[in-house]
Amino acid sequence: MDKLKGLLVLCFIVCSQIQAQDEDRVLLWSEDRKLTWADYQGSPLKTEWAAATTASGITYSLSSIIGNGESSLEVIVNSLFYPNKSWYKPDVCDDVILSHEQLHFDITELFAKKFRERLRTVRNDTNIKKKVRAIFVEINRDLHAFQNKYDRETNYSRDIKQQETWNKTIHEALNE
């Protein structure tokens, strides 16, 4: 009986870890890999009016070493897509909406790029964590405002001409 309990506990732990890994799954932005509807694993709220939602964000990690008169700084910045927080309504979504949602993720990468550029100007000193955090907060505030502007100006992908303009603008900015 003790062996059975042990086996059940082990099975529970393994299943919990698998579920936690699946919930934590993210996609790293890549120019070569575009989103598909299969990436959208979340469930829409019944009261949600939107056809789809792309959950994406910027993350960073910071390593700073100061010693012997030398300083070294490494900051890794990533744009991530969160499948379990992203969703769509299959009955109303099409390739145009998927393209619109992809551009939300591309905009996230554009602001990650801006973050990386801003970090090049930061001196490595005892306040580095505070400086990087302040830039991160500012970039995220600007990203949120920009995403809202994108939705307004394209009327959530319904204005095809504006959508094409935004596609071109963002892709050019990413390639600079």
Segment 90-135, tens digit of pLDDT: 999 999 999 999 999 999 999 999 999 999 988 877 788 899 999 9
Q: What is the reported pTM?
A: 0.84
DSSP state of 70: E
Residue 44 has pLDDT above 50, yes or no: yes
Please say whether the beta carbons of 52 and 112 come within 8 A. Answer: no
Name 58's Cβ contacts closer than 8 Å, sequence gap at least 6: 77, 78, 79, 80, 108, 111, 112, 115, 136, 139, 140, 143
Structure tokens at 94: 């099409």
Phi-psi region of 157 (alpha: psi -120 to 50; beta: other; left: phi over 0): left
